[in-house]
Structure formats: structure tokens, C-alpha cells
């Protein structure tokens, strides 16, 4: 199993992004922010850690959460980069 995030391309509008994520069960229907590589890099940099540093194993499946994956989720949720540390 890989701990690296993979990139996807979705249509240009925010509605396309919402529909794509909702259709895959990746969101609860609330609006999300596109986790662009640049935005995620800003969050990772704010953490002060390497992107692939392991943060925790998430129960019940014990999937590994890396700094990069936490950054992606924080960006999508509308958090600020200064929340990362």
C-alpha cells in the first residue's frame, strides 16, 4: 500500500469538483476547496515536516496518515495553513 497521494484532474468549475468528490463518496456534501499541489505544498511547509512523514495510523483499518494527506484534507476543509503545526 502506498502512502503517497495521487493527483487527479477534474473540470475547471467548483461544481465539477464538488460533483466528482461527492460521486465517489469522498465528501459529505459540504463545499470543499480544491487541494491543488501549490496549496497542499503551502500546508506541508507550514507543518515543518516532510510530506511523507507518518503522523498516525487511522482506526479501524490502520491506514497511515502522512503529513501530505493531512494537508490535503485540511486544505479541502477550508483550514488555514497556520493550523498545521
Q: Tens digits of per-residue pLDDT, 24-82? A: 888 888 888 888 899 999 999 999 999 999 999 999 999 999 999 999 999 999 999 99
d(Cα 71, Cα 74) in Å, to the nearest integer? 5
Residue given cell 510530506 in the structure block: 51
In which band, very low, low, confident or very high, does the pLDDT at 17 lie, cut at 50, 70 and 90?
A: confident
Nearest 5°: phi and psi at 81? -55, -30
HEC assignment per residue over 15-71:
HHHHHHHHHCCCCCCCCCCCCCHHHHHHHHHHHCCCCCCEEEEECCCCEEEEHHHHH
Amino acid at each position: 500500500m502506498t502512502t503517497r497521494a495521487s493527483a487527479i484532474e477534474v473540470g475547471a468549475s467548483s461544481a465539477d469538483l464538488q460533483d466528482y468528490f461527492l460521486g465517489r463518496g469522498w465528501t459529505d456534501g459540504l463545499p470543499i476547496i480544491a487541494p491543488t499541489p501549490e496549496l497542499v505544498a503551502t500546508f506541508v511547509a507550514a507543518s515543518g515536516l516532510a510530506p511523507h512523514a507518518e503522523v498516525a495510523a487511522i482506526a479501524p483499518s490502520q491506514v497511515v496518515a502522512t503529513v501530505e494527506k493531512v494537508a490535503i484534507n485540511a486544505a479541502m476543509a477550508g483550514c488555514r495553513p497556520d493550523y498545521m503545526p
